[in-house]
Amino acid sequence: MTNIEPGSAWDQELDAAGLLCPLPVLKARKRLSAMQSGQVLRVLADDPAAVIDVPHFCAESGHRLIASDTGASPQIYLIEKK
């Protein structure tokens, strides 16, 4: 699935490729905690569990999953900090 618009902007990037569950989400949580509300974090992950973990993390924490490309290698997620 892809819903990332070409030219999408982000404020910071987290390369979590090579990390397994739960590390991509834990690192995203830490990075987002240092960001300002409304800023966007681009997360790159290749853990198959990220397809479930990242949207669940966003729903539980209140951050907004703006877009994702789970067909890319690595997967790409754009998360807006609440």
Q: Which of 4, 19, 21, 23 is catalytic?
A: 21
Q: Is 58 an active-site residue? A: no
DSSP letters for 25-78: HHHHHHHHHTSPTT-EEEEEE--TTHHHHHHHHHHHH--EEEEEETTSSSEEEE
Residues with catalytic function: 21
